[in-house]
Amino acid sequence: EVLLRMHSVGICGSDVHYWQHGRIGDFVVKDPMVLGHEASGTVVKVGSGVTHLKPGDRVAIEPGVPREMDEFCKSGRYNLSPTIFFCATPPDDGNLCRYYKHSASYCYKLPDNVTFEEGALIEPLSVGIHACKRAGVTLGSKVFVSGSGPIGLVNVIVAKMMGAAAVVVTDLSASRLQKAKEVGADFTIQVKNETPQEVASKVESVLGCMPEITVECTGVQACIQAGIYATRSGGTLVLVGLGPEMVTVPIVNAAVREVDIRGIFRYCNTWPVAIALLASKRINIKPLVTHRFPLEKALEAFETTKRGEGVKVMLKCDPTDQKP
């Protein structure tokens, strides 16, 4: 293990949800719990067996650490391990604090040209990397990203990086769609009260064809329905956003058109990829951070996120270094 002095911690929708509702699905908050799982910091102390890190190293933290070497770990899909430790998922504490200890194998050294803030953003970025890999985005793909929150935006960035020829994004909010344009979306559609079929036909008309790939980032029933209708026959719909447990969808439409529906659970094996992309300046995720607060103003930061202001709210845990 290593002891870290925390630097930057992003606030996620799940953090806000636990704070407001005390549960997400089967994960119920029964005892006080530290939030935060999008984080970077500086190594202060290392355990006796740690060789790849030393005090003073700047690191990004992968929040999910398997507790045992089970079949999922052996096959490289450790995110599916049922006993995994995960920051800020009950009963495991997160890392929104001054000092935090974590498994050294899940702390990744940041190159000098990658900032602490970018290090913290690797967590949401990883969701985009994992989702686009599961979707099979490749050279020339036409992609529909449903939802333009932080996760929709990282999917736009990664899809473009992986060779998508055109990406169209839908959202209710004009300002969020503007952000999607900034990070590389080719087309945006502001949804008002269209039916799922109408949304699907708008997607087709702006792209000039139906997309082979849809990445659904809202979890809203109507959006999942639109995702099925929009996806080209033989294509893939990846469900990233999580909503209610039971959702009514046109599954027969998907079945007879051979639309593959895939889920994702967090990510695995993404930190090294993300660090390489950031270090080489192949992607720019800095525009995602719109608000910064010191740790003392955590409540204000959470309330800003809850109101849906900006994109990513970042907390600064190290009072000795308040540079962005």
User: Residue 64: which CATH number?
Assistant: 3.90.180.10
Helical axes 116-135 vs 150-161, angle rounded to 10°: 70
Judgement on whether residues 43 and 102 belong to the same structural domain of the protein = yes
Q: Mean pLDDT of all residues in the chain?
A: 96
Q: How far is it, in rounded angstroms, from Cα 237 to Cα 58?
A: 37
Cβ atoms of 249 and 225 within 8 Å: the answer is yes
pLDDT tens for each residue of 272-301: 999 999 999 999 999 999 999 999 999 999
User: Residue 230: which CATH number?
Assistant: 3.40.50.720
Judgement on whether residues 87 and 181 belong to the same structural domain of the protein = no
Judgement on whether residues 205 and 301 belong to the same structural domain of the protein = no
CA distances to 36, 127, 178, 188, 252 from 184, rounded to whole Å, are 28, 17, 10, 11, 34
Judgement on whether residues 137 and 254 belong to the same structural domain of the protein = yes
Angle ∠(223,204,211) on CA atoms, nearest 5: 75
Nearby residues of 142 by Cβ (< 8 Å), 6 or more positions away: 164, 165, 166, 207, 209, 210, 211, 212, 213, 232
Least confident residue range of 71-75, 77-81, 107-111, 319-323: 319-323
In a domain, 273, yes or no: no
- pLDDT value at 322 more than 60: no
Tell me, what's the pLDDT at 321?
67
> Residue length, the chain?
324
Judgement on whether residues 105 and 135 belong to the same structural domain of the protein = no
Mean pLDDT, residues 29-34 taken together: 96
Judgement on whether residues 98 and 137 belong to the same structural domain of the protein = no
In a domain, 300, yes or no: yes
Band of residue 213 on the pLDDT scale cut at 50, 70, 90: very high
pLDDT tens for each residue of 224-277: 999 999 999 999 999 999 999 999 999 999 999 999 999 999 999 999 999 999
In a domain, 270, yes or no: no
Judgement on whether residues 140 and 243 belong to the same structural domain of the protein = yes
Partners of 94 in the β-ladder: none
Which residue range forms the structural domain that includes residue 310?
A: 2-109+285-316
pLDDT tens for each residue of 131-146: 999 999 999 999 999 9
Least confident residue range of 37-41, 46-50, 98-102, 316-320: 316-320
In a domain, 118, yes or no: no
- pLDDT value at 319 more than 50: yes
The torsion of the CA quartet 150, 154, 269, 273, rounded to 10 degrees, works out to -140
Judgement on whether residues 310 and 253 belong to the same structural domain of the protein = no
Judgement on whether residues 248 and 294 belong to the same structural domain of the protein = no
In a domain, 54, yes or no: yes
How many distinct structural domains can be found in the chain?
2
Tell me, what's the pLDDT at 298?
96
Give the distance between the most distant pair of CA atoms in the chain. 60
pLDDT tens for each residue of 1-14: 999 999 999 999 99
Mean pLDDT, residues 200-205 taken together: 98
Tell me, what's the pLDDT at 282?
95
In a domain, 226, yes or no: yes
Tell me, what's the pLDDT at 324?
44
Band of residue 323 on the pLDDT scale cut at 50, 70, 90: low
In a domain, 291, yes or no: yes
Mean pLDDT, residues 210-237 taken together: 98
Mean pLDDT, residues 186-205 taken together: 98
Judgement on whether residues 78 and 13 belong to the same structural domain of the protein = yes
In a domain, 227, yes or no: yes
Judgement on whether residues 32 and 93 belong to the same structural domain of the protein = yes
Judgement on whether residues 252 and 308 belong to the same structural domain of the protein = no
